[in-house]
Amino acid sequence: MTSAKRPDASRRNEKSRQAILTATRELIAETGYAKVSIEAIAARAGVGKQTIYRWWSSKGAVVFDSILDLSGPVDDAVVLPDTGDLETDLKQVLRATVAEFADAAFEAPIRALTVEIATDPELAALYQRSMATPMDEAKKARLRSAQEAGQLSPDADLDLVLSLLNSPVFERWLMRGGPLDDAFADGVVEAVVRAFSPGP
Amino acid sequence: MTSAKRPDASRRNEKSRQAILTATRELIAETGYAKVSIEAIAARAGVGKQTIYRWWSSKGAVVFDSILDLSGPVDDAVVLPDTGDLETDLKQVLRATVAEFADAAFEAPIRALTVEIATDPELAALYQRSMATPMDEAKKARLRSAQEAGQLSPDADLDLVLSLLNSPVFERWLMRGGPLDDAFADGVVEAVVRAFSPGP
């Protein structure tokens, strides 16, 4: 993503990149996705517009990177740890999600962005392509290793498994439908693992 | 809700009530919850403001009634049929939800309202109290009869069961996360029934 030629330039680039991502998150939370502009992000981050356009092709792209940046890079080990025990690993991930939703610095921009995605079909398509699908693919890699280890039915529809794992926490958070805590996260994981157990 | 003294007055009241509910749904879809006013609803429905205030205490109350009106009255038999077979009944309900989300006349006001609920904590509390909780209680009555019939574990946490049933369809609809069809509805129901089966 960067084209650093010397260590100093690389450090400057990383500092600019972080300033841009932070400014983007702050602006989404303050004004909503629709009102955020590349100009406003550049001004808040103290960089030129061309610096942003050098690294990102559109406002949507920088916005989704700013959210992904909160959770660290999307790679299999980060999205789903692999201790060898599926239930333990899924509980860790869902508890981490619950903790993120309890953190206002994370929650406010995600809520504002979720509302925009729900309203704008084009933004929803960009979200599915650049954020949801890569996350789901990383999680499916972990589910496939559980299938190989005999902890998940080989016939399980992995899209359905992910939907059942993710959506109860999502809806309870978004609609403020009840306590969002570790007990709820654990209950969801236990039910899903039972539903897709390989059987006797 | 009405105070009709003669059949003619009762018919006029019902006609006004329906005009108010229809006008409310149209205005939510067109302008969003925040911009809808009792004045605008009255003007669109061709009634006086006092007619609305006679039957509803607030804008939120008439808005939720306008949505509930689409699905018919909340009573146990409508929310969850009881053929004696839980899986059959749950599939019927979830397929009906999928069909509602495929209908623009239903989908547009619900989407606009969902976005407002996600944005406004007070509206979320009103939604949980006046809409989500009564619907959930009616569904729990059906789940309890399934527990008595030995089709659902007596230990099942019914709030968790409902969350796992409802939220996959909700999230896939709201975030446009994939095909929302009978096959998906059936897959969710089969997984949840497996997860909470009473066991051998």
A71 falls in which pLDDT band (50, 70, 90)? low
The SS3 assignment for B134 reads helix
Distance CA A140, CA A143 (A): 5
Q: Contacts by B83-90 with C-beta closer than 8 Å and gap 24+?
A: B84/B149, B85/B151, B86/B142, B86/B143, B86/B146, B86/B149, B86/B151, B86/B152, B86/B193, B87/B151, B87/B189, B87/B190, B87/B193, B89/B142, B90/B165, B90/B189, B90/B192, B90/B193
Instruction: Indicate if the pLDDT at residue B200 is higher than 80.
Output: no
Q: Domains in chain A, please, with CATH? A: 7-57 (1.10.10.60), 73-195 (1.10.357.10)
**Does B194 sit within 8 Å of A194, measured CB to CB?**
yes
Evaluate if residue A109 carries a pLDDT over 50.
yes
Read off the pLDDT of residues B133-150 as tens digits, 9 standing for 90 and up. Answer: 988 998 999 999 999 999
Q: Is the pLDDT of residue A93 over 90?
A: yes
Nearest CA in chain A to B175: A118
More confident: A126 or A160:
A160
Residue numbers in A near B114 (CB within 8 A): 118, 175
Tokens of B125: 């509390």
> Is 70 exceeded by the pLDDT of residue A131?
yes
Residues of B with CB under 8 A from a CB of A: 111, 114-115, 117-119, 121, 124-125, 127-128, 132, 157, 159-160, 163-164, 166-168, 170-172, 174-178, 184, 187-188, 191-192, 194-196
- Whether ipTM tops 0.90, in short, is no
Which of B133, B171, B188 to mutate against chain A (most A CBs within 10 Å)?
A: B171
Distance CA B76, CA B138 (A): 5
pLDDT, tens digit, 9 for 90 and up, residues B8-37: 778 888 899 999 999 999 998 888 777 899
Element (H, E) at B47: none
